[in-house]
Amino acid sequence: MTTHQKAIAMMVASSGIMSLSGLLVRNLEAATDWQIVFWRSIGLAVAMAALLLFDYKGAAFRQMVRIGWLGILGGVFFAGTIMGFVLALTHTTVANTVFTMSAIPFFTAILAWMILGERVKPLTIAAILVASIGIALMVGDGFAQGSVFGNLMAIMTAFGFACFVVILRKGRFVNMLASLIVAALIAASVALYMTRGALLLSAHDLILCLIWGALISGGSYLLLVRASRHLQGAELTLLVLLEFILAPVWVFIFVNEVPAQMTLVGGGIVLVSVSVHALLANRRAVAL
């Protein structure tokens, strides 16, 4: 298996893991949106710190410093992603949230071209154009079905995530996992202020929030950071779209949250474009 194929496999796994987020949120009992942000962020920060200590031991702090201003900027953008994603999921349906976020490859392709000078491959351009048809159907239907605030938070999340991916690409020669710790601490600080310190949860909700942060988010973002070293920004975020297809499937199966018909049609179009892109990219990598 080539390095490129391994990176694609990591992104597929990352998207699959992260697609469980919506299902987890729907199984919370009484936690508020900002309480979820706080405890999820704490779980993520602890998991990433433990990983850095395991990899670098006494040099872990030095690794934190190495990310520099670029890593801190990435942490700021990703903190917005952490907060926006939770606020979107708690103010509109999972399908509306994740399908509105399907605009991520568009933001990423433009930003990577403007900032990094990355030329978007014709195959990736074609996949984005096809996916745009499905995205247009889903977003239009999403604004009609969901709350304005929830959809705006999903758009903010998409833009913040695209900025973070571009920063990962720019800083790909440095281990940017420390940037996730910065993001988690920023998000937790904002949530602490928003809740006025009212952070007490039931054991059930606390465990789910920590699992989301430490295992689901931690594992998914670890794979994302490592895959970003070998995939262009637009290609990487195109594979992220798999998460947005699977997430509403899980909540439909387990909690009977039924997406609108147009959402399903648009989601199918995006799924086909992502699958064909991954297949053709793998074949091209093998040929090379």
Residue 100 has pLDDT above 90, yes or no: no
Q: Is 114 exposed, middle or buried (0-12, 13-18, 19+ CB in 10 A)?
A: exposed
Q: What one-character-per-residue DSSP string does 159-210 give?
A: HHHHHHHHHHHHTTTS-THHHHHHHHHHHHHHHHHHHTT-----HHHHHHHH
pLDDT at 155 over 80: yes
120/98 Cα distance (integer angstroms): 24
Q: What tokens appear for 63 in the block?
A: 């690794």
Q: What mean pLDDT is reported for the chain?
A: 85
Q: Are 94 and 247 in contact (CB under 8 A)?
A: yes
Closest CA to 3 of 271, 158, 251, 227: 227
Residue 148: exposed, middle, or buried by beta-carbon count in 10 A (0-12, 13-18, 19+)?
A: exposed
Flag whether the pTM goes above 0.75: yes
Task: Answer with the residue of higher pLDDT: 236 or 23.
Answer: 23
Confidence at residue 220, expressed as pLDDT on a 0 to 100 scale: 92
Domains of the chain, residue spans: 3-287
Residue 144: pLDDT over 70: no
Q: pLDDT digits over 181-237, tens only?
A: 999 999 999 999 999 989 999 999 999 999 999 999 999 988 988 888 888 776 787
Residue 173 has pLDDT above 70, yes or no: no
Encoded amino acid at 138, one letter: M
In this structure, the dihedral spanned by the alpha carbons of residues 96, 192, 162 and 128, taken in order and rounded to 10 degrees, is -10
What band does 157 get if pLDDT is binned at 50, 70 and 90?
A: very high
